[in-house]
Structure 1
Amino acid sequence: MSNELEAFIEYISVIKALSRKSVDAYTCDLKQIELALNKPLISLDSKTLFNLLSEYKNKRTLNRKLSSVNAFFDFCYKNQFVDEKKKVKFSKIPKLLPKFLSYQQIQNALSQVDRSSVLGLRDYAMIIFLYATGARISECLALRREDIEGEWLHIRHAKGEKERIVPIAFVAKTAVDAYMNELKKTKEYVWSNYKGEKLSRISAYKITQKYLGVSPHVLRHSYATALIAGGADLRVVQELLGHSSLLTTQIYTHIQKQDLKETLEVCHPMAKEHLWVE
């Protein structure tokens, strides 16, 4: 690994305080390119880069690697490792609207959960918790008892190590309390498996798949969608979700646009084409 790349990895680990997962992703992408290049990454030019990455047919994978390269170039320029700032353009990909579930769909799924066992109480509480707080699954799995403070949830292990405090609905807190009260002994983490060990991401995925047929992240999308549909300000939703940029939150404005379209179709006379007389 070149000196510049080592410095960049230290920067995003210590100064930027990115999550271990993000640091590993940057490291893997950049080391892979540098090894293929067989010389310091700082000497990379656009033509060589695209020749190296031409094997990636998936545009999302390609853009992730380009993002890593651009972040590295930006770091090198700001630290005067290079005289000119390089930036590689991303590949265009179609924008996909986030998948989400309605409140009724979630209620229907919850009615199927057997709460006569501790694991049933856990599954029920976790689904409600994810939908009521909009927490990322990593934030959910890192939850400790002391992180729920009355009507507030203290998310201490957020993406990029950015802590935030969000309100937690009474029904969600009640469900979590009911589950924790049935545990035979106090655990460090709220969510645990049948062995009493910290619940894994795979196990959490299996829970939401079993009852809802989706990944845990869809519940985060459903939370945001419900807020926007209810008239919440976009910046408030940004704060609740812990997004560093408002641009990330704006993917949920499709709900507002759909509401506007439906309102026009119902209320505006020109939308009712069969009534129009020329």
Structure 2
Amino acid sequence: MLAELDDTLAEFVRHLSAERNRSPHTQRAYEADVRALFEFMVDRGCTSTADLTLPVLRSWLAEQTTSGLSRSTIARRAAAARTFCAWATRAGRLPRNPALRLAAPRRDRTLPGVLAQQQASDLLDVAGLAADDGDPIHLRDRLALELLYSSGVRVGELVGLDVDDVDLERRVLRVTGKGNKQRVVPFGVPAAEAVRSWLSLGRPLLVTHDSGPALLLGRRGRRADQRQVRAAVHSLLEHVPGADDVGPHGLRHSAATHLLEGGADLRAVQELLGHATLATTQIYTHVSVERLKATYEQAHPRA
């Protein structure tokens, strides 16, 4: 790639980190997307950022479509291009923003699998039985599953928790979510019991000088990572007959769905999940047919 484009990309990535406070995952994704855009430009004879125009952007996205990429990937690449163009215009790298009229396909609205309430209960029972052997990893896995389902936190938020982020007296977590935004999330009595067991019987057996304040630890005493939690969820779900292999994100979705089925307000669920807009919550969650029928029969005068 040409030096000027390479320098522009490096500056854009620094902007994402220092000014936009985007997560490392988002930074890597946007960097890869803009790099792909620049490589497309170079292949067509462009030599600088100023050569980026709306026709170039549209041609780039059209090529993504013909190459067989999913609608979600193309939508993300379009979002990365819009973010880049807005920044480049403000930074003087572009004379005007060419992405203002850039259209892209909507993301696929596929939802993760969801457990039935009884399946979620069975899963947590399995985790509890496994923890009865006193193995600190089993105690940790029980806690991880209880918190994922009880609070609806993301798995990345879960492994980022420190001991001081857990308030057992009030039964709330202080969670740092996307964009480094903090929120307070409640959890239930069974999760509180799992926290106490882990802190008194599990964590002390694994803690080392490398542990720091991390709540969840691995075998070697370092902060547990997302892969370890995912492996635990998948492994324990194998013992729940008929349950889909949903993973940690499915537990989050199950928690939100079961809250709605129990009559929770959609805005309350939005706050719990840490969604910036209610529209995201409406897409992320779904209300059961049974609850819709019950609401209709209760509210409609001709039901």
TM-score (ref. length: structure 1): 0.85
Measured in 1, the distance between the counterparts of 2:97 and 2:79 equals: 18
Q: 2:156 aligns with which of 135, 138, 159?
A: 138
TM-score (ref. length: structure 2): 0.78
CA contact (8 A) 1:118 1:179 kept: yes
Q: 1:204 aligns with which of 214, 225, 229?
A: 229
CA contact (8 A) 1:128 1:172 kept: yes
Q: What is the CA distance between 1:258 and its match in structure 2?
A: 5.5
Measured in 2, the distance between the counterparts of 1:133 and 1:256 equals: 20
Q: What is the CA distance between 1:70 and its match in structure 2?
A: 1.8
Question: 1:254 and 2:286 equivalent?
Answer: yes
Q: What is the CA distance between 1:154 and its match in structure 2?
A: 0.8
Listed one character per residue, the Cα deviations across residues 115-156 of structure 1 (whole Å, up to 9, x for unaligned) are 212222111111111111111111111111111123221113
CA contact (8 A) 1:2 1:40 kept: no
Listed one character per residue, the Cα deviations across residues 132-182 of structure 1 (whole Å, up to 9, x for unaligned) are 1111111111111111123221113x2111111112223212202201211
Aligned residues: 270
Structure 1 ranges of 4+ moved more than 4 A: 77-80, 262-268
- Could you say which residue in structure 2 is the equivalent of 1:29? 33
Does the C-alpha gap of structure 1 residues 84 and 267 become closer, same or farther in structure 2, counting only changes over 3 Å?
A: closer
What value does the CA root-mean-square deviation take over the aligned residues? 2.7
Matched letter for residue 109 of structure 2: K
Measured in 1, the distance between the counterparts of 2:76 and 2:49 equals: 17
- Could you say which residue in structure 2 is the equivalent of 1:162? 181
Question: 1:65 and 2:77 equivalent?
Answer: yes
- Could you say which residue in structure 2 is the equivalent of 1:230? 262
Listed one character per residue, the Cα deviations across residues 168-216 of structure 1 (whole Å, up to 9, x for unaligned) are 2232122022012113254431212223232222221110001123211
- Could you say which residue in structure 2 is the equivalent of 1:215? 247
Give 5+ residue unaligned stretches, structure 2.
238-244
- Could you say which residue in structure 2 is the equivalent of 1:126? 144
Question: 1:239 and 2:251 equivalent?
Answer: no
* Percent of paired sites with the same residue: 28
Give 5+ residue unaligned stretches, structure 1.
272-278
Listed one character per residue, the Cα deviations across residues 234-262 of structure 1 (whole Å, up to 9, x for unaligned) are 22221211111221111245306652246
Does the C-alpha gap of structure 1 residues 176 and 85 become closer, same or farther in structure 2, counting only changes over 3 Å?
A: same
